[in-house]
Amino acid sequence: MKKRLLRGRVIDPPPVGPGWKVADLVDECFLAYNAARLREAAQLLVTKCLNEDVTIGMTLTGALTPAGLGVSCIIPLIEAGFVDWIISTGANLYHDTHFGLGLPLHVGRPNVDDVTLRKEGVVRIYDILFDYNVLLRTDEFFRRIFDAPEFQRTMGTAEFHYLCGKYIAERERVLGQKKRSLLSVAYEYGVPVYTSSPGDSSIGMNIAEKYFTGSKLRIDPIYDVNETTAIVLATKRGGGKSAVWILGGGSPKNFALQTEPQIQEVLKIDEKGHDYFIQITDARPDTGGLSGATPSEAVSWGKIDPAQLPDTVVCYCDSTIALPLLTAYALERHAPRRHKRLYERRGEFMQLLEREFHLAQKREARRKKRIKK
């Protein structure tokens, strides 16, 4: 028993020296506590999640893009084929657009007087500062593109963000800059981007303004429930595996994980749960919130395959620390993958989901008929 308990690696790291790569630092020196969880997450990402048959869904919560993580991390991950679909808060996508429009955000301090900032027309996100006109110019950009003919209908958020990405990419071209917005890069690589609460951001607020000007633009998030579910089911039916990479928690986390209960509980389609789970969070599990809910708790809902629990990692860490380290680790340790371009296959996936639903309905009807007999 003692021998089994002490079979773990002996803690005997080499001294850190100049010229170390991030991946070597993580592998050799992140040996305990949340550093060890970060190492486990990095190794799970590279050894299993980035296999060609795995489809990776990333969720974004918290003010990540204002901190520059869209440019520094998420765009390189998309370019490398390491992110196949995304669920984000609308706020992250709104602030991502500032970068695509060439509007500057500045490093500041968290203890600046907010009354003074308001008087001076400066907005603060903790220690990020920017001119209030950044908001106004971004609002103006969105309202202007919303007048385009292709926006004059009801759509889900993947299609909506794809169209936004197209216009942001064109704006980047005019400005002579490239790959500053994750929406424009997602558009380029066919990565569908969803927002679980489309009204809960300045993008949604500007759509709401258009209601008063005769616009026909409407966002239907129920499209997204089915499309995200279809992505997961198509992955599994194609012999692949599903990984979720969760930054933060909140609504995007649940929206990604609920795809499996939607398949099993609601649509009555036979499935077992997501295969791989990585979460970076500062939320505790004991308060009962979804953000801090553990993978083992998710098993009880059918969200995670119970057989895959060893392939789940939760690291309690600020995403602004963990994501650059995980990005560098993945890029150093794994070659780029083929881009799956899931956006272009949404129709195909939806047809599969509908077929499986009707087959499940027939099975359920036969089962109920047998019970009555």
- For 218-263, write each residue's pLDDT tens digit: 999 999 999 999 999 999 999 999 999 999 999 999 999 999 999 9
Q: Give 45-86 pLDDT, tens digit per residue.
A: 999 999 999 999 999 999 999 999 999 999 999 999 999 999
Token readout for 110 is: 């968290």
Q: Is residue 29's pLDDT more than 90?
A: yes
From residue 367, how far is each of 56, 262, 364 by CA, in Å?
35, 20, 5
Residue 302 DSSP symbol: T
With a cut of 90, say whether residue 295 has pLDDT above it: no
Residues 5-21 have a mean pLDDT of: 94
Full domain range(s) for residue 129: 2-372
Mean pLDDT of the chain: 96
Taking the CA atoms of 361, 367, 371 and 373 in sequence, report the sign of the dihedral they define. Answer: positive
pLDDT at position 309 over 90:
no
Confidence check: pLDDT of 196 > 80: yes
pLDDT at 181 (0 to 100) = 98
Residue 18: which residues within 8 A CB-CB, separation 6 or more? none
Query: For 207, how many CA atoms within 13 A lie in the half-sphere containing its CB?
Result: 23
Question: Would you state the pLDDT for residue 111?
Answer: 96
Question: Facing residues of 241 across strands?
Answer: 54
Report the share of the chain in percent with pLDDT over 70. 100
pLDDT at 74: 98
Nearest Cα residue to 64 out of 319, 297, 300, 329: 319
By annotation, the residues acting in catalysis are: 303
In angstroms, the CA 306 to CA 274 distance is 9
Average pLDDT over residues 171-197: 96
pLDDT tens digits for range 200-211: 999 999 999 999
Structurally, how many domains does the chain consist of? 1
HSE-CB at 162 with a 13 A cutoff on CA atoms is: 16
pLDDT over threshold 80, residue 369? no
Identify the CATH number of the domain in which residue 8 sits: 3.40.910.10
Question: Please, which pLDDT band fits residue 294 given cuts at 50, 70 and 90?
Answer: confident
Q: What is the pLDDT of residues 134-183, one digit of tens each?
A: 999 999 999 999 999 999 999 999 999 999 999 999 999 999 998 999 99
Least confident of 18-22, 36-40, 301-305: 301-305
Q: What is the pLDDT of residue 49?
A: 98
Q: Are the beta carbons of 83 and 74 closer than 8 angstroms?
A: yes
| Phi and psi at residue 89, to the nearest 5° | -65, 150
Q: How many CA atoms lie within 13 A of 362 on its CB side?
A: 5
pLDDT tens digits, 94-150: 999 999 999 999 999 999 999 999 999 999 999 999 999 999 999 999 999 999 999
**C-alpha neighbours within 13 Å on the C-beta side of residue 224:** 27
Confirm if 129 and 117 have CB atoms less than 8 A apart. yes
Task: Say if CB 229 and CB 305 are below 8 A apart.
Answer: no
Distances (CA, A) of 144 to 89, 116, 139, 209, 221: 22, 32, 9, 12, 23
Residue 305 binned pLDDT confidence (cut-offs 50, 70, 90): confident
Distances from the Cα of 38 to the Cα of 24, 27, 63, 161, angstroms? 13, 10, 20, 31
